[in-house]
Amino acid sequence: MNQMDPRNMSSVIIRKTWGADDYFICGSPLPITSRGIWSGDKPLNCIFPVFILQAIAGTFVSRVVYMILRPMSQSKFLCSVLGGILLGPSFFGENMKFREKMFPPTEMGVFNSFSTLGAMFALFFVSVKVDYKSLIARAGRNSWVIGFSGTIFPWITLLSLFYMYIDYLPPALQIKIVPFFVASFVSLTFFPVVAYSLDELNILTSELGQLSLSATIVSDLMQWFFVLLIAIFKQANLEQAIEAFVSTFILVLISIYGIRPALVSIIKKTPEGKLIDETYVVLILLGALFMGFVTDCLGSSIIYGPIILGFIVPDGPPLGSILVEKGECFISEFLLPLFFVRVGYELDVRAMGDLRTAFTFMAILFAGYFAKFLGVFLASLSFKLRPRTAFLLGLIMNNKGIIEIVIYFRWKRIKYIDEQTFAVLMFSSLAMTAIIAPFTGMLYKPRVRLASSHKQIRLKTIQTTPRASEFRVITCVHNEENVQSIISLLEASNPTEMSPICAYVIHLVDLKGSSAPVLIPFNAKQKRIFKLRNSPGSNHILRAFENYSRNSNGPVIVQAFTMIAPYIGMHENICRLALEKLTPLIIIPYHENQKHIEGSLVATSIRGFNAKLQRYAPCTVGMLVDRGTRRMNSSHFSYNVAVIFIGGEDDREALALAARMSGHAEVSLCVLRITLHCKKGGEFDNTNKYKGREQCKHKCKCKGKSKEEEEEEEEEEMEKLMDEALYDEFKIKNMGNACVVCREVVADCSAQVMDAIQSLESNYDLVMVGRSRHQAMELNDIEMPPLNSKNIEHLGMIGDALVSSELFEGWLSLLVLHSCGRPVHM
């Protein structure tokens, strides 16, 4: 044999098959970076420049695919895998030059390492968000039965079909034990996968979303049994299997009884309301890497270490949320897509090989998916769920995602399955995910989100609430700054023995560091547990309302909750509660009040929440613009209120609330009644009050009116009749009441309206006004004072003007009422 020429030792020898099993044989180390093209270097012959191009190409292609498929409700993970398939040997990678330059086997090490790192940390953050203790406690009998049926039906079906047609399956599945593990994992539904899918479809907080999350608990617990079995069977002999089992068991015990108490002590040492020290955050992230190293040394997968650590980290604020906030964006948006691209790149359509074998295997897999659907569907119907809900639940439980991809890819890497089996498993999973997402989005019609405010049936308003019945109010609180103004408003609403107030106080916490949205009742006796699981300020906020309930001048019942959910879907839970409790009023803080406390990003989320709540609420929503509260004597309550009454349904709700307040001996009321002369056909109506249909001077007498115009005029006349009736009733009720003053003003334009409002005194604790009114009652002339609309959410013509003008500076609070929905006509 001829010896190799030493001058050629720097040359790289590569096996030139370029197939699925390409590998680097030998050669000199490649340079990490290039000295530049002007020095004669080729950047594509260096490791890091190639990795940069790989990362850019993978991210760019997957993003383009996502932009194309997003209108069809396809997930990011699916689009990332499809992007990898496009770059792989099935499409662009079929070109040998492209493949040699972009994905040479000699330079794939860095790409593979970063993608593995992305999968490790992604699963770590997924585990941090899961709280098994809470899930098990919340899961009812229906969740356990549905979850068990959705697991056992496909498991029996797949096992039976695998062993019945074992001769027609790929060679890897003809090994006796392999079909058992494949059937077991295909039958499972993983909690993080379902939570991720529901979050992308924006139904995480819906009834269907909550039931789906609860039903996955059975599968999520069973997966650890199968993981342990695989770790045991992976070993060469019984002695190694016992060693693997014992070492893994010891690691879990150390994590639970050693590491978790240390993490809890970190939370206890952190002052309430303060963030976890960044040193601890870095140590925990390093701990995820170290746990991966340990499990890899023990013979298990490198990904199970971070998962175990993630499970023992207390979810939610303050620790779980800060971990997710610090690292999840970079991992989920950059490193994890690299892993999906890598999986897609190694997924070759040509690996399907024998089509008869591949289609037989795929048919069996889809039979298993159908069996899971059927099991969930029948179990759901047995609990009297609606057929549509049962159908959608069966679809959602078939979702596939990151957990399945990691498992299948690992099986392929350790040679449990061959290329053909991996390809069929992957394509069947991608097909199910591609089918389920758009079907769920099209078919699911949540009751709360079915119609916007102009279509929603309104069940109750302040006006229709009997004076001698319980007055129910939902109050939303974001932070401690909102507490005093809401308590003052509740006290001013005059709780009496004949008409007590029932306040559902909900502290809203953005969902960070947890996968499952929850509504937790406040229990003062469990203060210590509650503090660890929720926002640090929840105890102070909710305890303040309970203290008010015990010390109020009248009977006030407070039912306090903490809601942990994403702001994008938080309104659904509020609307659902309003429907269940038949509450006539929801009070929400104005988002601009939160900007200096929570920051602009959170204030923007709260703004979206407020807008959605006003759009979908089945009752009246009051937006409280708070500028502070006067210091009051704890033994004596006094409150000055002004009501601006122009007319329309929203203004009537404000007057109805004022009518309730007028019975409080310590509340002073001033009602400013502004009558508008609406400009019609170039003339103003000089009538001060509406006298009847025949005497309406401003109606156009033109012939040939359309039916729509006549209906609009009749609606306008009815609005005015109701305005006058309610205002006259208010005046009659408060005749002789020294605490109530009524002023009446006539205005021809917006400037006169503002002059009338400016004539009010500036020492009011609260000013109430309706957000909108009938179109004929709006004066949109150019004399309206200019508005700083950049930072103003729509509060109506008067509300926006008050918030943006200097006039409001003398008033402490502004309550803008909006009557959502439409009344039920009997």
Q: Does position 690 have pLDDT exceeding 60, yes or no?
A: no
Residue 510, classed as helix, strand or coil, is strand
| Average pLDDT of the chain to the nearest whole number | 77
| Lookup: tokens for 72 | 């069809």
pLDDT score at 524: 55
What pLDDT band is residue 675 in, cutting at 50, 70 and 90? confident
pLDDT score at 579: 85
Q: Which one is predicted more confidently, 622 or 334?
A: 622
Q: Largest Cα–Cα distance of the chain, in whole Å? A: 120
Exposed/middle/buried for residue 260 (C-beta within 10 Å: 0-12, 13-18, 19+): middle
Q: What percent of the chain has pLDDT over 70?
A: 77
Cα 296 from Cα 304, distance rounded (Å): 8
Q: Does position 788 have pLDDT exceeding 50, yes or no?
A: no
**pLDDT per position as a tens digit, 33-71:** 777 777 767 777 777 888 888 888 888 888 898 889 888
Cα 476 from Cα 672, distance rounded (Å): 29
pLDDT score at 629: 56
pLDDT score at 479: 83
Mean pLDDT of 106-135: 80
Q: Does position 367 have pLDDT exceeding 90, yes or no?
A: yes
Q: Does position 533 have pLDDT exceeding 60, yes or no?
A: no
Could you give the angle at the alpha carbon of 707 between the alpha carbons of 706 and 711, nearest 5°? Answer: 120
Q: Which one is predicted more confidently, 228 or 96?
A: 96
pLDDT score at 20: 45
Q: Is beta strand 24-26 parallel, antiparallel or unpaired with respect to 13-14?
A: antiparallel
**pLDDT per position as a tens digit, 280-308:** 888 999 999 999 888 888 767 787 888 88
What pLDDT band is residue 657 in, cutting at 50, 70 and 90? very high
Cα 26 from Cα 274, distance rounded (Å): 54
Cα 148 from Cα 382, distance rounded (Å): 14
Cα 326 from Cα 649, distance rounded (Å): 47
Cα 315 from Cα 650, distance rounded (Å): 42
Measured CA to CA in angstroms, residue 243 lies from 2, 226, 237, 254 at distances of: 48, 17, 10, 16
Q: Is beta strand 766-770 parallel, antiparallel or unpaired with respect to 639-645?
A: parallel
Q: Is beta strand 471-477 parallel, antiparallel or unpaired with respect to 585-589?
A: parallel
Q: Does position 143 have pLDDT exceeding 70, yes or no?
A: yes
Q: Does position 141 have pLDDT exceeding 70, yes or no?
A: yes
Which of 761, 771, 800 has the alpha carbon at shortest distance from 670? 761
**pLDDT per position as a tens digit, 730-776:** 888 888 888 888 888 888 777 777 778 777 766 788 889 888 765 44
Mean pLDDT of 229-254: 75
DSSP letter for 169, please: S
Mean pLDDT of 227-244: 69
Q: Which of 322-331, 649-658, 664-673, 735-744 has the lowest mean pLDDT?
A: 322-331
Which of 363, 278, 451, 338 has the alpha carbon at shortest distance from 55? 338
Exposed/middle/buried for residue 508 (C-beta within 10 Å: 0-12, 13-18, 19+): buried
Q: Does position 179 have pLDDT exceeding 90, yes or no?
A: no
Phi and psi dihedrals of 367, rounded to 5?
-65, -40
Question: Which amino acid is residue 287, in one-letter code?
Answer: G
Q: Does position 131 have pLDDT exceeding 60, yes or no?
A: yes
pLDDT score at 719: 80
Mean pLDDT of 380-404: 88
Q: Does position 716 have pLDDT exceeding 90, yes or no?
A: no
Q: Is beta strand 639-645 parallel, antiparallel or unpaired with respect to 667-676?
A: parallel
Q: Does position 11 have pLDDT exceeding 70, yes or no?
A: no
| Lookup: tokens for 416 | 């449990």
Cα 88 from Cα 84, distance rounded (Å): 6
Q: Does position 473 have pLDDT exceeding 90, yes or no?
A: yes
Phi and psi dihedrals of 8, rounded to 5?
-100, 10
